[in-house]
């Protein structure tokens, strides 16, 4: 059997960014929620209004009862990724709200259908610009009063790489880069690190069947920037061990991830893909 000794490293993180400044010039760099037109901090007002909007909807009996019966903790989180078009309307096919019980991105159709029109981002010519707005919201399950209460300013211990406000800074990436550029830089650095250090020749000794093979790797970046909690699942334990060995050699990051100014743990996933041919 002949082995094609090449790797394709794929990053599974969603490339999403929040309402943040970039090098482009905008007359209005963020969307404005209904009722926030006169607010001093319009961006924070958007966050608060959407938070309260979600609380109102998840307190409807059927959804609330489901959350109370399935939630394992007294706090839950919801991740939102809303794409607004040039006129400020939600683009539902490209928007998502995570399930408050299992954390997975699942379209909650009734909530998405109800999100109101906003005032859109405006470029330097006052033309509307489509934009993503991502948020992470926390809620308290008040079982005594049978209510789900929004926790303003909530910061969980773990925040997904796709929605973290301040991305961890990998060695060799400039701290001054914006979030999207930092994500791209970190992804690229990890790809190169794994491709350089992973010993693909191990596969030639395992008598694996021809085809595409994947090793799914999960790890976390802790509050000090260290890589911890490495797990791997692949077609053979020897490949899992090799993936874990390589990830352990990732250097300590220059800065951990931050959410609302607080260091948090950031989970990260990485499929390592290679092909075996006859």
| Same-domain status, 184 and 133 | no
Cα 52 to Cα 10, 139, 149: the distances in Å are 37, 10, 9
Asked whether the predicted pLDDT for residue 31 surpasses 50, the reply is: yes
Which tens digits make up the pLDDT trace of 85-128? 999 999 988 888 887 776 554 546 778 889 999 999 998 889 99
141 and 181 part of one domain:
no
Domain identity same for 144 and 63: yes
20 found inside a domain: no
Q: How many of the other CB atoms lie within 10 Å of CB of 105?
A: 14
Which one of 93, 121, 151 terminates a domain? 151
Is 122 domain-assigned?
yes
Residue 51: band (very low, low, confident or very high) from pLDDT cuts 50, 70, 90:
very high
Identify the pLDDT of residue 2: 43
The mean predicted confidence, pLDDT, of the chain is 85
Share of the chain above pLDDT 90, in %: 52
In a domain, 272, yes or no: yes
Q: Does the pLDDT at position 17 exceed 60? A: no
Q: Residue 176: inside a domain, yes or no? A: yes
Its domain, for residue 7, covers: 3-13+167-276
Helix 42-58 to helix 61-70 angle, to the nearest 10 degrees? Answer: 90
Residue 229 lies in a domain: yes
Nearest-angstrom CA–CA distance, 53 and 48: 9
CA count, 13 A, side-chain hemisphere, 67: 28
pTM: 0.67
Whether 255 and 176 map to the same domain: the answer is yes
The answer as to whether 21 is a domain residue is: no
Reported confidence tier of residue 55, pLDDT bands at 50, 70, 90: very high
Q: How many domains does the chain have?
A: 2
Rounded to the nearest 5 degrees, what angle is found at the Cα of 96, between the Cα atoms of 49 and 13?
A: 115
């Amino acid at each position: 059997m002949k082995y094609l000794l090449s790797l394709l490293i794929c990053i599974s993180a969603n490339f999403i960014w929040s309402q943040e400044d970039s090098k482009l010039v905008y007359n209005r760099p963020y969307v404005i929620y209904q009722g926030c037109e006169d607010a001093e901090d319009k961006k924070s007002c958007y966050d608060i209004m959407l938070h309260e909007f979600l609380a109102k909807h998840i307190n409807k009996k059927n959804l609330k009862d489901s959350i109370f019966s399935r939630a394992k903790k007294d706090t839950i989180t919801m991740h939102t990724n809303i794409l607004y078009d040039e006129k400020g309307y939600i683009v539902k096919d490209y928007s998502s709200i995570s399930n408050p019980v299992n954390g997975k991105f699942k379209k909650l159709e009734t909530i998405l259908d109800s999100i109101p029109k906003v005032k859109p981002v405006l470029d330097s010519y006052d033309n509307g610009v489509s934009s993503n707005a991502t948020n992470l919201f926390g809620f308290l399950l008040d079982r005594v009063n049978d209510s789900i209460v929004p926790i303003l300013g909530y910061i969980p211990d773990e925040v997904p790489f796709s929605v973290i406000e301040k991305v961890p800074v990998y060695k060799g990436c400039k701290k001054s880069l914006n979030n999207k550029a930092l994500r791209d830089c970190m992804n690229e650095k990890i790809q190169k690190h794994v491709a350089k250090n992973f010993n693909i020749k191990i596969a030639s000794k395992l008598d694996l069947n021809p085809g595409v093979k994947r090793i799914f790797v999960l790890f976390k970046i802790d509050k000090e920037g260290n890589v911890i909690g490495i797990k791997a699942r692949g077609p053979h334990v020897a490949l899992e061990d090799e993936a874990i060995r390589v990830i352990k050699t990732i250097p300590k990051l220059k800065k951990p991830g931050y959410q609302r100014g607080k260091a948090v743990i950031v989970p990260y996933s990485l499929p390592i893909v290679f092909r075996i041919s006859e």
